[in-house]
Amino acid sequence: MTRLVARIKILPKEADTDLEKVVESLKDQIPNDFDLKRYSKEPIAFGLYSLICDFTLNDSEGQMDLLEEYIKKTEGVSEIQVIRVSRESVSIK
């Protein structure tokens, strides 16, 4: 089955939200069907940062919705924005 890479921007609930704790919660919370491959912090403004995360998932119906649901339920997450989705063999820059 084809695997996809979804790049998702995650915005914190508070300016002082510990983004490392959010990442750890994501790793613990998401099921084995999904994998957090890499992440980085991106400055937004005035000391506020967002997370840019690359997740892998199966290319089957409902998987993207399920991933978004798990991320939104994670403590410290305010909202998310799907930036890009592509096949795993394609490099996202």
Average pLDDT in the chain: 91
- In Å, how far from its chain's centre is CA 75? 13
Task: Map tokens 């290319």 to a residue.
Answer: 59
- pTM value > 0.85: yes
**DSSP letter for each residue of 10-76:** EEESSTT--HHHHHHHHHHHS-TT-EEEEEEEEEEETTEEEEEEEEEEESSTTHHHHHHHHHHHSTT
Fold of the CATH domain 3-87:
Alpha-Beta Plaits (3.30.70)
Instruction: Provide the residue ranges of all domains of the chain, joining segments of one domain with +.
Output: 3-87
Closest by CA position to 57, among listed 86, 20, 21: 86
Give per-residue pLDDT as tens, 32-68.
889 999 999 999 988 899 999 999 999 989 999 999 9
